[in-house]
Amino acid sequence: MRGRAIPLVLTPPKGRGKPPRHLADLSLAERAAAAAELGLPGFRAKQLSVHYFERLVHDPAQMTDLPAAQRAELVAGFLPELLTPVRTQTADRGTTVKTLWKLFDGALVESVLMRYTDRATICISSQAGCGMACPFCATGQGGLQRNMSTAEIVHQVVVAARAMATGEVAGGPGRLSNVVFMGMGEPLHAYAATLGAVRRLTDPAPDGLGLSARHVTVSTVGLVPRMRQLADEGIPVTLALSLHAPDDELRNEIVPINTRFSVAETVDAAYYYFERTGRRVSIEYAMMRGINDQDHRAELLADVLSADGRGTGWTHVNLIPLNPTPGSKWTASDPADEREFVRRLESRGISTTVRDTRGREIDGACGQLAAAES
Ligand code: SAH
C-alpha cells in the first residue's frame, strides 16, 4: 500500500486574490450597512436577500420591486457571479447531477446533487483542492489551491435549491432538504468560511436559506481543536468524522493528519461534540480490501468508540465501499468481509449502515472529485 506520498498542507497557500464580496458573505445587518455605504437605502439589501434566499430569483430582470435605476448597482455590489458552470454530468436517470464550477480566479471545484424519493442532498466543496493528503482520495492527491469564501460555499447550495424548485432535476419540482460538506476540501481547515456558510444555510430567510441544522452535515478528517470549537458554537449541525482506521499505526498511513492528532484524541473530540450538541456523530469508514476491513479491526473499532465507558448510543458507523481513484492501489472490500464487519459492529451494539454510493460512473462519488476540465 505505497501511494505516492504528498505532504500535509496546514497553511493555505498565500498570494491568491479574494473572491468578490457577495451578499451571502454578510449577515442581514451587515448587508444593510454595505448598502448604506453604496449610498442606497438599507431596506434594499433586505429586498435583495428575499430574492436570493427566499424566492431563489437571481435574474435582476425579475426583481421588479427594485427601482430599475438602482437594480444594476445593487446586483453589481451584492450578487457578483461567483460560480461559472463548466460542465454538468448526470447519472441515475438524471437524479444525480455533478457540476464542475470555475471560480473567479480560475480555480475549479465540484458539487453533486443527489435526489432520493424522500429527500434531496447537495454535496458541496469548501476548498479548491485539499491539503489533507489522504492517499486513497482523488481530491487529497491533487493538493490544496485555496479556501473558498462563505458565499462561494453557500452559492453551491442556493443554485441547487433553485434547480430543485424549478424542476430542472429529474422528478419534477421539489425542495432541497440536505447539505453535506463532503465535496472537495476539509471544511474545518477553512473554518471561518465554513462556519459562516453553516450560519447562512441555517438562518431563517431572508437572512439565510432556513435549512434545518440537523439536515446539514459537516464532515471532517479530524482537526481536533476545530471539532471542539464547532461543538461550542451552539449550532447543532451533524458532524461526520472520517476515521477509516481504529489504530494509530494504520491511520497514520491512510489519514495523514493522524500524525498530529491520535485516534484516541480524535474520538474524544467527536464524543465531546455529541455531549455538547446532543447530535449523534457519524463515523465514516471507507472499506479497503485487506487494509482496514479485517475482523480484528471491526472489534478494535468497537473498542475505540465505546472506550472510557461512553457506550455506543452516541455514534453511528457509516461504511463507504471504496471508490476507485486514479493511481490508487487500494480496492473495495469483498462483500462477504463487509457483511462480517457490519455484523461484528452490530453485535457490539453499534448502529451501522453501508453507504449507498451515487455517481461512481461520473466520478462523482466519495473521494472521486478531482475537478479536472477534461
Ligand atoms: N475532508 C472532509 C470532507 C470530505 S468527505 C473529510 O475527510 O471528511 C469525503 C468522504 O469520502 C471522506 O470520508 C473521505 O475520507 C471519503 N473518501 C475519500 N476517498 C474515498 C474513496 N476513494 N472511496 C470512498 N470514500 C472516500
Q: What pLDDT is stored for residue 61 in this prediction?
A: 87
Omega of the bond leading into 206 within 30 degrees of 0 (cis): yes
Phi/psi of residue 337, each to 5°?
-65, -40
Q: Residue 236 and residue 280: Cα distance in Å, rounded?
A: 10
Is it the case that residue 28 has pLDDT exceeding 80?
yes
Ligand 1 centroid, distance to 242 Cα (angstroms)? 7
Alpha-carbon span 166 to 185, nearest angstrom:
29
What is residue 29's predicted lDDT score, i.e. its pLDDT?
94
Residue 182 gets which letter from DSSP? -
Residue closest via CA to ligand 1's atom 26 equals 367
Q: What's the pLDDT at 6?
A: 86
**Quick check: is 366 catalytic?**
yes
How many C-beta atoms lie closer than 10 Å to residue 275's C-beta?
11
Determine the straight-line distance between the first and last CA of the chain, rounded to whole angstroms: 28
CA distance 69 to 124: 35
What's the CA gap between 222 and 267, in Å, rounded?
9
Q: Is 242 in the pocket of ligand 1 (CB under 6 A)?
A: yes
* pLDDT number for residue 374: 66
DSSP code string of 307-370: GGGT-STTEEEEEEEPPP-TT----BPPHHHHHHHHHHHHHTT--EEE-----GGGT-STT---
Catalytic residue among 110, 152, 186, 284: 110
Q: What residues contact 59, with CB distance under 8 A and at least 6 apart? A: none
Distance 64 CA to ligand 1 centre (A): 44
Q: Is 123 one of the catalytic residues?
A: no
Residue with cell 446532543: 278
| Confidence (pLDDT) at 3 | 47
Give how far Cα 333 sits from Cα of 44, 62, 366, Å: 56, 52, 15
289-308 average pLDDT score: 98
What is the reported pLDDT for 17? Answer: 83
Query: In whole angstroms, what is the distance from residue 187 CA to residue 223 CA?
Result: 10
Distance 343 CA to ligand 1 centre (A): 23
Distances in Å between the Cα of 265 and the Cα atoms of 136, 224, 243, 262 are: 23, 7, 12, 5
Catalytic residue among 123, 134, 137, 366: 366
36-95 pLDDT tens trace: 998 999 999 999 999 999 999 988 889 999 998 888 888 889 999 999 999 999 999 999
- 210-250, pLDDT tens digit by residue? 999 999 999 999 999 999 999 999 999 999 999 999 999 99
The pLDDT score that the predictor gives to residue 90 is: 97
CA of 73 to the centre of ligand 1 (A): 41
Would you say the CB of residue 363 lies under 6 angstroms from ligand 1?
no
Average pLDDT, the chain: 95
User: What are the Cα distances from residue 226, in Å, to 91, 180, 256, 287, 333?
Assistant: 35, 18, 17, 26, 32
pLDDT at 16 over 80: no
372 pLDDT band (50/70/90 cuts)? confident
Statement: residue 206 has pLDDT above 70: yes
The pLDDT of residue 59 is 85
- The answer to which of 16-30, 60-74, 122-136, 200-214 has the lowest mean pLDDT is 60-74
What CA–CA distance (Å, rounded) separates 57 from 66? 13
Quickly state the pLDDT bin for 1 (edges 50, 70, 90). Answer: very low
Q: What are the pLDDT digits (tens) for 332-367?
A: 999 999 999 999 999 999 999 999 889 999 999 999
Reported pTM = 0.96
pLDDT bucket at 203, cuts 50 / 70 / 90: very high
Q: Is 271 in the pocket of ligand 1 (CB under 6 A)?
A: no
pLDDT for 246 equals 98
Rounded distance, CA 248 to CA 250, Å? 6
Least confident of 9-18, 57-66, 145-154, 310-319: 9-18
C-beta of 286 in contact with ligand 1 (< 6 A): yes
* pLDDT for 58: 82
Q: How confident is the model at residue 252 (pLDDT cuts 50, 70, 90)?
A: very high
- 147 — pLDDT class (breaks 50, 70, 90): very high
Q: What distances in angstroms separate CA 186 from CA 9, 18, 58, 139, 145, one per listed residue?
A: 11, 19, 29, 10, 12
| pLDDT tens-digit series, residues 89-126 | 999 999 999 999 999 999 999 999 999 999 999 999 99
pLDDT at 2 over 50: no
